[in-house]
Amino acid sequence: MTACMLELENVSVEINGRKLLSNLSFKLEKGEHVALMGLNGSGKTTILNVVGGLLKFSGTVKVCDTILTGKTIKNIRKNVGYLFNVPEEQLLFPRICDDVAWELINSGMDKKRAMEKALETLEILHIGHLAERSIHELSHGQKQRSALAGIIAAEKPLWLLDEPSSGLDPVAKRDLGTLIEKHSDVTILCALNDTDFAEKYFSRIIFIEDGTLVSANSSISTVKKTWDLI
C-alpha cells in the first residue's frame, strides 16, 4: 500500500465573506508529482498557503498523517519546503548562500557543513557564481533559481511549488523539469498554468476553477479544451 503524504478533506477558505475555496478534497501519495492547475485567481496559491499553514481554513488537512492545527504546524513545517510565487518573499539574507544555508542551520546542521551544502546546491542549479551576491543584484530568473536552491538543499519530503517555471528561460525550465523528475522520492504539489510544462513533467493534474475542484485527475487535453486552447 502506498503512503498518503498530503490529504485535504472538505477544505474551505472564506475571507471577508468571500469564498476563495469551497469544499476541496484530494490526496497525494508519497512520491507523486502533481500539477495544480487553474486560471489566474482560481485558488492555487490559496491552496498552497493553506497547506503551508499560512491561512485559516475549515475542513481537514493532513501532512504525513498529522492533522494540521496551530499545535502541529511547527512540526509539519519541518517536512514541507514551500517555494513562494514571489522569490523576494523568500530571500531575506544579505547573500544568496546565506539564504540557502539558513534552513539547514535552523534544523541543527553545523554552520560550516550547511554553507558547503548551500554552495553545492547552487552549483547543481548552475548558479554557484551568484553565491556571494545580494538578491537586489539578481534577475528574476536568477532569484527564482536561488529560492529553489533553498528548497532543494533542505531535503524535505513534501514540496509546495508556486509557479516555479514562470520567468525561467527554456534551459532553466528544462533543468527545473529534470530536477523535479530526479526527486522521485519527494512528493510535489506544484501550482501551474503552463500546460506544456505540466504535461511534460507531472504525473497527475488537479484541475480547479473558482476555488472548486473540477477533477483530481484531469487530462491535459481537458484543461486545454476548457481554456479554449485546442
Interacting residue ranges for Mg ion, rule: CB under 5 A: 44-45
Nearer of residues 46 and 121 to ligand ATP, judged by Cβ: 46
Binding of ligand ATP by 46 (CB under 6 A): yes
43 binds, among Mg ion, ligand ATP, none (CB under 5 to 8 A by kind): ligand ATP
Question: Interface residues for ligand ATP in 6-25 (CB under 6 A)?
Answer: 15, 20
Residue with the CB atom nearest Mg ion in the bound state: 45
Is 53 a binder of ligand ATP (CB under 6 A)? no
CA distances from 143 to 21, 79, 134 (A): 30, 23, 10
Binding track, positions 105-134, relative to ligand ATP; x by CB under 6 A: ------------------------------
The smaller minimum CB distance to ligand ATP, of residues 7 and 163, is found at 163
- 3/229 with CB nearer ligand ATP: 229
State which residue, 43 or 81, has the beta carbon closest to ligand ATP.
43
Q: Which does 92 bind (CB under 5 to 8 A by kind): Mg ion, ligand ATP, none?
A: none
Task: Give Cβ neighbours of residue 185 (< 8 Å, ≥ 6 apart).
Answer: 30, 31, 157
Return residues touching ligand ATP (CB under 6 A). 15, 20, 38, 40-46, 191, 193
